[in-house]
Chain A
Amino acid sequence: MAAKNIDIILKVWRQKNTNAKGKIETYELSEVSTDSSFLEMLDQLNEKLIGEKETPITFDHDCREGICGSCSLYIDGRAHGPQTGNTTCQLHMRSFNNGDTIYIEPWRSKAFPIIKDLMVDRSAFDRIQQSGGFVSVNTSGNTLDANAIPITKDDADKSFEAATCIGCGACVASCKNSSAMLFVGAKVSQYSLLPQGQVEAKNRVQNMVRQMDKEGFGNCTNTGACEVECPKGISLENIARMNRDFLLSNISSDK
């Protein structure tokens, strides 16, 4: 499809630092190619702002291929914008029309404090992972041969699907309770579907859930918004699996 140029109006959240008060600023941007990605459009705006000796807009991004999980924009009231199944960096301007007004905000959640403008602090996710998101195997390489334990293709595929979570936090941002259950559920499921993850399964789910609560994420009330907005299509099944594991571990845990 041939590219064309469009003019748009942007309403962007600006906030100097964590403690400052933020507000929405309005910018007009013309000659945006519909072939540009959303972030390239922001680059274009930033170049314009720099040219006018204004402060450019800060936002997280790195790979720009939908895999690192850095980008995290709340666009027109939706995490990662109007399309499903993709990240902000994969969104292209052909999803917008000439004359559109586009609202861009950061993730909003108590557990994700704003650092500057559209950039938030998601280190809570790291701390959840540190509390149990691993198999306690040492790094010597002296383990079983990789093919010693066959794993059914079905389990391997499901585990992989859970493991494709990119840790972006869209699930939290789009949940009215700011719950991190989809993220944690995906990590717990990846391991609980594999024989290698079984040994520590009980402690893992206990520790990760405890850390999640400590970070101030909300409860899950099964609204399912997270699944809809998750760019990787992580399914609610993973939350169910985690809940099951959690209950089981409560019954049988010696803690």
Chain B
Amino acid sequence: MNVYYTYGRVKGDSKKDEQTIYVRLFYGRNKIQVKASTQLTIRKHGWNFKKGEDADVVDLAKKQIPPQDLENFKNIKQRLSDIRVHLKNEFRKLMLSREHNSFSQIQWNDWARAQLGSALFQGQKQTESTTKFLRKRENIRRIEPSSSINLDAKTPEGPIDAKWTNHKNKMKLVAPNNRPKIDVIVVGTGLAGASAAASLGEMGYNVKCFCFQDSPRRAHSIAAQGGINAAKNYQNDGDSIYRLFYDTIKGGDYRSREGNVYRLAEVSVSIIDQCVAQGVPFARDYGGLLDNRSFGGVQVRRTFYAAGQTGQQLLLGAYSALSRQIGLGRVNMYNRHEMMDVVKIDGKARGIITRNLVTGDIDRHSAHAVVICTGGYGNVYFLSTNAMGSNASAAWKIHKKGALFANPCFVQIHPTCIPVHGTNQSKLTLMSESLRNSGRIWVPKNKEDAEAIRDGKLKPTEIPEEERDYYLERRYPAFGNLVPRDVASRAAKERCDVGHGIEANDTNEGVYLDFATEIKTKGKQVAFAQGDKTPTEEKTIELGKKWVEEKYGNLFQMYQQITDENPYETPMKIYPAVHYSMGGVWVDYNLQSTIPGCFVAGEANFSDHGANRLGASALMQGLADGYFVVPFTLANYLADDIRTGSISTDSKEFVDAENEVKSQINRLMNIKGTNSVDYFHKKLGVIMWNKVGMSRNKEGLQSAIGEIQVLREAFWKDVYIPGDADEMNAELEKALRVADLMELGQLMAVDALNRNESCGGHFREEYQDEEGETLRDDVNFKYVAAWEYVDADARNSVLHKEQLKYESIKIADRNYK
């Protein structure tokens, strides 16, 4: 027996200050469906009730309904009138309180939804049977979109190359003398957070900045290896702002917003100037000028780097700027503090609740605006290249409070990581994409050779040239080993799926990244440059190895430490791994989420990379957002707050939020089950990797959605967290994060299921051409899927679409052949 309900705003209702919600209850079995509904309209100055159509929907007498069903239908009708009474009372109370006068569209919706929830589940006069079936979560099936959320990207008018300048000229400012009256919270100290906090502090705002590590310098941006893009065209190979913009849109498989991406390309140029001025020691050539390398998906050299530690150097640059502001007292830094929730007052973000990770104290912090820069959610897969602490909680908490979450299924699987080796493995290690400048990717042509290698009977160096399949060079001659990441990853999977994998792990998943050719070519060049035109083979190889060491020394060393193999002598083994999340909190052109006053920057937002991110563009985006975008768009928002005065943390909203956080923690601590947090996290990871990973299909996604649901319920019944909540408790920290990842993981599957096309990192097996390339559907899916939170079950989330418009770029197939 199934009972469904749906609700939403009635279509065609366009008046801004009017909300109509309807409730329909369905009951069905054996192809018999009965339904009953009620409809309510709320206006700011009164309300209106329609009784609904329950009486005449179905002529029961005409259908042969078994008596027991008839009984249930009566119950439904009874239930509906209970709901109606409950809602009516609540409306009346609200109208009398006049609170609703300040309600925004979103708040109306929140309110209606909350009331409906309590009416459905806690209505007083329930009969035994109705309570039973209505309480069951699984029985709730569909909720129609409440179209009241208006997704306005707020992209400025005008030609693409003038949008940002025009916008900057028009935006409101906050005068220097007013800035000290305004408090801003920045959560996160990666490239986005550190640069935003430093800039805002320098402009004169009161900034509070938070990170969960023991120092802002340890944010995960530190681990980025390869480099940062900028359209400087120092190499004179035809680069330009337009080309960087074009490459990024194309690389993202036409699923990102033109205006934002153009701005990113535009400000990229200033980033390099800024960093050099801060003393970031980028790699230079012998003439003393900045050196560049090339990354996947492009045909120019625009990537600036500092050996294989570009992220470290850039972050330390931003950290130095932040440290300067902390020293000057303009930024208050809270290390080892985790944001637990956002606090909304009158619909606006006005603060956060944090947990001091050392003492367990729960604290309230107020501000006029909140900037979330908390990084990506790759750890939903358990094994990823992200740091152990990387998490989605801050983003997820604001999502639960009204910020839409966009394109959650767009995740980047990076082609060159060290393959999985064992069950106790805690994370995967990236081998920078820059290696694909010099390395050639291959597997044995013959499956027998692959098998012999796995069995340890054959060495890769023993396989002759003609027995090797350099499959990227074969399939994509124009870009070769430098195709974009999603393409390279899938190609590796394809080879391993048909039995050519060379790694002796459970799944035989691994391919070679070989430097032998490069060592020879470069060795020869160096010898020639030194005047030796006939170098011996040994000499060439020796010089070549030196050359490689200078370029990639630390990566080779890292590889050797982990695998105990020497990549100068034998090819590296690599395999794709989860790396980056293109999806994230939906933001408009100003990087503001659908919660007013809550801005989101860096990897945590969805904005610039569409369905696939190009290498070296995340660092660019983080610094662009933090240094050059948020400081301006935030001022535009804060200009209305100069008279607000400081915000008290004693309000009901703060008290409620704090209590909510405390009760969630208590709930977790009191489960006292039998399994550790990692036990559940690993299980989640396996479901995600197998069914919502590199390639996806309808059946897999459907089953993932169900499996995650079951796992989440098990987690909340059976997790065991040792220790207490009022002390340093790493297990509790993990549990709080995993609880959110469970919900996010399910939403990713829901989103992937909804997107009936293949694009970028999202590969649906049903949508591919004969050669296994992605088949995008621009007619039906050229939109950003922005999901609205309803409850922990992501199947109930409501989809909103932001249609993408391409005015400056002709949308085309993505071809790297």
Main secondary structure of the interface of A (DSSP, over half): loop
CB 8 Å contact bits of B60-101 with A (1 = contact, 0 = none): 000000000000000000000000000000000000000000
Which residues on A sit within 8 Å (CB–CB) of B213?
62, 68, 70
Could you tell me the distance between the alpha carbons of A69 and B271 in the complex, rounded to whole angstroms? 25
Given A141-B627, A196-B277, A133 contacting B320 (CB threshold 8 A): yes
The one of B202, B389, B722 that contacts A139, using a Cβ cutoff of 8 Å: B202
A80 part of interface (Cβ distance < 8 Å): no
Nearest chain B CB to A213's CB is how many angstroms away? 17
Which residues on A sit within 8 Å (CB–CB) of B538?
none
Closest to A91 in B: B561
Establish whether residues B198 and A122, one from each chain, have CB atoms under 8 Å apart when the complex forms.
Answer: no
Could you tell me the distance between the alpha carbons of A70 and B694 in the complex, rounded to whole angstroms? 31
Could you tell me the distance between the alpha carbons of A223 and B619 in the complex, rounded to whole angstroms? 39
Establish whether residues A125 and B722, one from each chain, have CB atoms under 8 Å apart when the complex forms.
Answer: no
Establish whether residues A134 and B218, one from each chain, have CB atoms under 8 Å apart when the complex forms.
Answer: no
Given A134-B324, A143-B273, A160 contacting B306 (CB threshold 8 A): yes
Establish whether residues A33 and B281, one from each chain, have CB atoms under 8 Å apart when the complex forms.
Answer: no
Nearest chain A CB to B575's CB is how many angstroms away? 16
Establish whether residues A33 and B422, one from each chain, have CB atoms under 8 Å apart when the complex forms.
Answer: yes
Establish whether residues A122 and B215, one from each chain, have CB atoms under 8 Å apart when the complex forms.
Answer: yes
B492 part of interface (Cβ distance < 8 Å): no
The one of A40, A123, A125 that contacts B426, using a Cβ cutoff of 8 Å: A40
Which residues on A sit within 8 Å (CB–CB) of B426?
37, 39-40, 43, 64
Establish whether residues B728 and A146, one from each chain, have CB atoms under 8 Å apart when the complex forms.
Answer: no
B628 part of interface (Cβ distance < 8 Å): yes
Could you tell me the distance between the alpha carbons of A146 and B302 in the complex, rounded to whole angstroms? 14
Closest to B306 in A: A160
Could you tell me the distance between the alpha carbons of A33 and B253 in the complex, rounded to whole angstroms? 42
A159 part of interface (Cβ distance < 8 Å): yes
A65 part of interface (Cβ distance < 8 Å): yes
Which residues on A sit within 8 Å (CB–CB) of B199?
139
Nearest chain B CB to A131's CB is how many angstroms away? 6
B24 part of interface (Cβ distance < 8 Å): no
Establish whether residues B323 and A64, one from each chain, have CB atoms under 8 Å apart when the complex forms.
Answer: no
CB 8 Å contact bits of A51-69 with B (1 = contact, 0 = none): 1011110101111111111
List B264-298 residues whose CB lies under 8 Å from chain A.
267, 270-279, 281-290
Establish whether residues A44 and B676, one from each chain, have CB atoms under 8 Å apart when the complex forms.
Answer: no
Contact stretch, chosen from B109-117, B160-168, B307-315, B442-450: B307-315
Could you tell me the distance between the alpha carbons of A134 and B524 in the complex, rounded to whole angstroms? 42
B528 part of interface (Cβ distance < 8 Å): no
B723 part of interface (Cβ distance < 8 Å): yes
Establish whether residues A125 and B223, one from each chain, have CB atoms under 8 Å apart when the complex forms.
Answer: no
Establish whether residues B323 and A133, one from each chain, have CB atoms under 8 Å apart when the complex forms.
Answer: yes
Establish whether residues A129 and B214, one from each chain, have CB atoms under 8 Å apart when the complex forms.
Answer: no
The one of B222, B287, B728 that contacts A119, using a Cβ cutoff of 8 Å: B728
B717 part of interface (Cβ distance < 8 Å): no
Most B CB contacts (10 A, CB to CB) among A130, A137, A190 go to: A130
Establish whether residues A153 and B288, one from each chain, have CB atoms under 8 Å apart when the complex forms.
Answer: yes
Establish whether residues B307 and A62, one from each chain, have CB atoms under 8 Å apart when the complex forms.
Answer: no
Nearest chain A CB to B462's CB is how many angstroms away? 18
Establish whether residues B273 and A144, one from each chain, have CB atoms under 8 Å apart when the complex forms.
Answer: yes
B216 part of interface (Cβ distance < 8 Å): yes
Establish whether residues B564 and A94, one from each chain, have CB atoms under 8 Å apart when the complex forms.
Answer: yes
Which residues on B sit within 8 Å (CB–CB) of A135?
277-279, 320
B327 part of interface (Cβ distance < 8 Å): yes
A221 part of interface (Cβ distance < 8 Å): no
The one of A39, A50, A69, A190 that contacts B731, using a Cβ cutoff of 8 Å: A50
Which residues on B sit within 8 Å (CB–CB) of A62?
213, 218, 220, 387-389
The one of A53, A70, A133, A139 that contacts B274, using a Cβ cutoff of 8 Å: A139
CB 8 Å contact bits of A132-150 with B (1 = contact, 0 = none): 1111111111111111001
Nearest chain A CB to B296's CB is how many angstroms away? 21
Given A3-B421, A151-B284, A66 contacting B215 (CB threshold 8 A): no
Which residues on A sit within 8 Å (CB–CB) of B427?
64
CB 8 Å contact bits of A23-54 with B (1 = contact, 0 = none): 00000000001011101110110010111011
B730 part of interface (Cβ distance < 8 Å): yes
Establish whether residues A190 and B279, one from each chain, have CB atoms under 8 Å apart when the complex forms.
Answer: yes
Could you tell me the distance between the alpha carbons of A206 and B220 in the complex, rounded to whole angstroms? 31
B35 part of interface (Cβ distance < 8 Å): no
Could you tell me the distance between the alpha carbons of A16 and B285 in the complex, rounded to whole angstroms? 52
A164 part of interface (Cβ distance < 8 Å): yes
Could you tell me the distance between the alpha carbons of A123 and B217 in the complex, rounded to whole angstroms? 11
Establish whether residues B273 and A115, one from each chain, have CB atoms under 8 Å apart when the complex forms.
Answer: no
Establish whether residues A136 and B270, one from each chain, have CB atoms under 8 Å apart when the complex forms.
Answer: no
B424 part of interface (Cβ distance < 8 Å): yes
Could you tell me the distance between the alpha carbons of A156 and B429 in the complex, rounded to whole angstroms? 28
Which residues of A line the B interface, CB within 8 A? 1-3, 16-17, 33, 35-37, 39-41, 43-44, 47, 49-51, 53-56, 58, 60-70, 85-86, 90, 92, 94, 115-116, 119, 121-123, 125-126, 129-147, 150-153, 156-157, 159-160, 163-164, 166-167, 190-191, 194, 196-197
| Given A130-B326, A133-B320; 7 other pairs, CB 8 A cutoff | A17-B728, A40-B425, A64-B388, A129-B323, A144-B276, A146-B290, A163-B316
Report 20 cross-chain contacts, Cβ distance below 8 Å, ordered by A residue: A33-B424, A54-B722, A56-B723, A64-B388, A67-B309, A68-B222, A125-B215, A126-B216, A129-B217, A129-B319, A139-B195, A139-B202, A143-B274, A152-B284, A156-B283, A157-B284, A164-B309, A164-B312, A166-B312, A196-B279
Closest 5 CB pairs of A and B: A150-B288, A141-B270, A130-B327, A134-B320, A160-B281
